[in-house]
Amino acid sequence: MTYRLLALDLDGTLLNSQGRVGARDAEALHALAAKGVIIAPATARWYQAARRPFDQLGVNVAAIASAGADVRLADGSVVEQKPLSPAFAAFIAGLCDREGWTATFSVPGRAYTRANDLPPWATNAPEWLQPVTHLRDADLSSLLSVLVETHGSDGGLAEVDGWRDELEQATAVSFAGAVLHTFTAKGVDKGSGLRSLCAAAGIDPSEAVAVGDSEVDLPMFAAAGCAVAMGNSTPPARAAASLVVAGVDEGGVAEAIERLWG
């Protein structure tokens, strides 16, 4: 099989424990791009943040951003954007403010990062990132995804149960041990995003490779022709993979590229 597209999770997959792209992985990505393979981050991060590690490397990429709700080609053109309902947007914004949760609200042009205190760099933030201490004034009319960070059990999340019929929720654990809850519209996940990107690029999903490390990556594992789990993956991710490679700090992405593309 000749694979034509690589979908990459970021945290715990491409970005190592220092939050960086390893030198070997960077070299492999450059080589893959030179072969004409489409590369796309597949992440809960918003579009601009999804592209950022690749922009820093000088590698042009498509994107499956906002946990699959914002899919774009390499030239930035929108394939699809699937927002949450305005009613849920208002509900979850109010809940985050009340509970004091750290959260990221992604809309097509920017992300609102909510915390109880503004970071020191808030006044110098780029236009596509707006740190806030409350979400009352945020324009959430086209809210694509919400990423909520909790620590341990949090009773406030039970209030989301009443919205289950219109939501997808994915849960993962960060390197720091925080529990990350991602909310998107019903039917929207990394797998739906991968299928949409493939259709827009004229690629059969069987010609795509998906690389990830946790349960949030399982939908794109199911959609892709080849699923690759990192050595640091959770057991469910490893079990669902066609191939298991080295860990994120040992050049696992480079190994996957070398084994599948030579």
Choose the final residue of a domain: 138, 166, 185.
185
pLDDT in tens, 87-103: 999 999 999 999 999 99
pLDDT tens across 130-170, in order? 999 999 999 999 999 999 998 766 778 889 999 999 999 99
Residue that finishes a domain, picked among 185, 213, 229: 185
Same-domain check for residues 181 and 194: no
Domain that holds residue 203: 5-81+188-261
Do 40 and 71 fall within a single domain? yes
Same domain, 49 and 90: no
3-state helix/strand/coil string of the chain: CCCCEEEECCECCCECCCCCECHHHHHHHHHHHHCCCEEEEECCCCHHHHHHHHHHHCCCCCEEEHHHCEEECCCCCEEEECCCCHHHHHHHHHHHHHHCCEEEEEECCEEEEECCCCCCCHHHCCCCEEEECCCCCCCCCCCCEEEEEECCCCHHHHHHHHHHHHEEEEEEECCCCCEEEEEEECCCCHHHHHHHHHHHHCCCHHHEEEEECCHHHHHHHHHCCEEEECCCCCHHHHHHCCEECCCHHHCHHHHHHHHHHC
Among residues 134, 158, 185, which one ends one of the domains? 185
Instruction: Answer yes or no: do 77 and 192 share one domain.
Output: yes
Q: Could you tell me if 77 and 94 lie in one domain? A: no
Residue 150 and residue 102 share a domain: yes
* Domains contained in the chain, number: 2
Give the predicted TM-score (pTM) of the model: 0.95
